[in-house]
Structure 1
Amino acid sequence: MALWLMFANLSAMMTHGFKSSKQDFTFGPWKVTAAKTHIMKSKDIERLGEEMHMPSLPEMLFGDNILRIQHTDGYGIEFNAIDALKRVNNMHDSVKVACAQEWQESRADSEHSKEVVKRYDWTYTTDYRGTLLGEDLQMTATETSERIDMEKLKAREQIMFFDDVLLFEDELHDHGVSMISVKIRVMPTSFFLLLRFFLRVDGVLIRINDTRLYHEAGKNYMIREYSTRESNISELQNVPAALYTDPNEISQHLTLKLTKCEKLELPETGPQPGNTEALQ
């Protein structure tokens, strides 16, 4: 909780808006690239929707926004909106469509309710956890019981680099919000990243899919933790409604549905366990 609030406070100090920007930050053998630019043009969105067989895409789709972590040997991981949307379920019998039907019944008089249940997940729920980079070399994902030491991350340490990149957002025709963004902070001996998908369908449910990524100098792997938290609004009656719009606050009140922990093992040419040099 405190860790996410630290991210939130850092975000508040940044200048938001659609002004294009690109930041590169090099530390040890790694380079972070954070690129932010304007919303995709309508013609490009239409073409992309056809390619993905989705009748509608998020209102604010930042198709050129990326956050990339890349090793000098070429491998790494990237977070972008297009790949996140590719993980949206477009099947009729998905759980997400069932939620849409519940939402439709609760909004029977709404003009939009007649358009909701189509052959795609209108909430844009995605279990995206990043895109592995590299042609000849790539990190490999294996399940693990090792977890990110969150207490260690709470320790005060110099933040050498921070950025917050929005990938897409949609207000669900004024009946909630669906959005995904990624934040990173780099310390002298480690980096920590949080990709968060947040969904609120008014009167129906709140869902948060989090991907946490952590790498420490001297380790030949990253730890990637994925979790899904979700509760129906009816299960949150004892939670102040003012918290529903704040992902940082509401997350602790949601029911944990799924967790998955992985090691992203670096190729043999990457840093070895005996290497204790800092990332800077």
Structure 2
Amino acid sequence: MMPVFKSSRRDFTFGPWKLTAARTHIIKSSEAERLAEELHMPCVPEMMFGDNVLRIQHESLFGIEFNATDALRCVNNSQGMVKVACADEWQESRSEPEHTKEVIKPYDWTYTTDYKGTLLGDTLKLKVSPTTEHIDTEKLKAREQIMFFEEVLLFEDELHDHGVSSLSVKIRVMPSSFFVLLRFFLRVDGVLIRMNDTRLYHEHVPPPLFTDPNEIAQYLPVKESICEKLAFPEEVCLESTASSEGT
């Protein structure tokens, strides 16, 4: 028996950003069948929250959101599929409607996805580029007031009682920043455990800190670092050595 989920929607505004977290019930079977056909899958996950979303949008309308449908579009049906004895049994048990048997093969029954979010905006969009920079985890450890927190489950499947496959996203907003963790988790009992994590971190420095050098220093990027040392003149060093030998 499927659990019952209470629908909720929370909006939160901080600076130029608006955050929306919507959670509702599992999609109806007719919607699930239509979506599975569209995605060329025998079926979508047992608990498919097609209307659940976490959205972060700037007042200029660009931003990023996380939803289940786009995540399933990133399932790779040709690479990295888990080959275990229970896979055939699971797929057979899920092939209920006749038309779902006529799908493109192969099929990743674990729903492994490398989804990183969906960019929003028409004329303006966030730009994605490789970087060597990393999130400063020390800043995340700092004790700050949590102004907003939400966790949204996008999909989950128990893999015919052989494990679990799930995708969820959570966000926490502090006075100086916000942090997002999108996590795909897969456990196939007795076979493997897999996690794909996407982390998003953005600092929004409060304007009052602009006038405080000690506080604003931690938010400024290091453009250049020069290391030097000062050495005593050689004459002073020799005199010091001679004096030491004479005592």
Find the counterpart in structure 2 of residue 145 from structure 1.
132
Equivalent residues of 2:185, 2:194 under 8 A apart: yes
- Determine whether 1:74 maps to 2:74: no
Find the counterpart in structure 2 of residue 222 from structure 1.
none
Q: Match for 1:95 among 72, 76, 80?
A: 80
Q: Match for 1:86 among 56, 61, 73?
A: 73
Distance 2:143 2:40 in 1: 47
CA deviation string 1:31-50 (max 9, x = no partner):
11000000000000000000
After TM superposition, list the pairs within 5 Å mapping 1:45-60 onto structure 2.
45-60=32-47
Distance 2:194 2:113 in 1: 11
Q: Match for 2:24 among 29, 33, 37?
A: 37
- Determine whether 1:205 maps to 2:192: yes
After TM superposition, list the pairs within 5 Å mapping 1:244-259 onto structure 2.
none
The aligned length equals: 196
Equivalent residues of 2:90, 2:159 under 8 A apart: no
Find the counterpart in structure 2 of residue 154 from structure 1.
141
Equivalent residues of 1:54, 1:119 under 8 A apart: no
CA separation of 1:120/1:188 partners in 2, compared to 1, >3 Å: closer, same or farther? same
Report SS of the residue matched to 2:64. Answer: strand
- Determine whether 1:192 maps to 2:179: yes
- Determine whether 1:112 maps to 2:90: yes
**Which structure: larger Rg?**
2
Distance 1:61 1:113 in 2: 17
Find the counterpart in structure 2 of residue 165 from structure 1.
152
CA separation of 1:215/1:62 partners in 2, compared to 1, >3 Å: closer, same or farther? same
For residue 111 of structure 1, report the CA deviation from its aligned partner.
Answer: 4.1
Report SS of the residue matched to 2:160. Answer: helix
Equivalent residues of 1:54, 1:90 under 8 A apart: no
Equivalent residues of 1:75, 1:139 under 8 A apart: yes
Following TM superposition, the consecutive aligned residue runs of length 4 or more in structure 1 with deviations greater than 4 angstroms are 113-116
Equivalent residues of 2:64, 2:118 under 8 A apart: yes
Write the letter of the residue equivalent to 1:95: G
For structure 1, the residue ranges without an aligned partner over 5 or more in a row are 1-15, 219-275
Write the letter of the residue equivalent to 2:36: G
Give the alignment's TM-score, normalised by structure 1.
0.66
Write the letter of the residue equivalent to 1:212: R
For residue 192 of structure 1, report the CA deviation from its aligned partner.
Answer: 0.3
Find the counterpart in structure 1 of residue 229 from structure 2.
none
- Determine whether 1:62 maps to 2:27: no
Distance 1:132 1:27 in 2: 19
For residue 119 of structure 1, report the CA deviation from its aligned partner.
Answer: 2.2
- Determine whether 1:133 maps to 2:120: yes
Report SS of the residue matched to 2:10. Answer: strand
Distance 1:29 1:113 in 2: 46
Distance 1:115 1:43 in 2: 18
Give the alignment's TM-score, normalised by structure 2.
0.75
CA deviation string 1:90-146 (max 9, x = no partner):
23xx221xx22xx12xx49x8437679x52110000000000000010010111111
Instruction: Point out which structure has higher relative CO (alpha carbons under 8 A, 6+ apart).
Output: 1
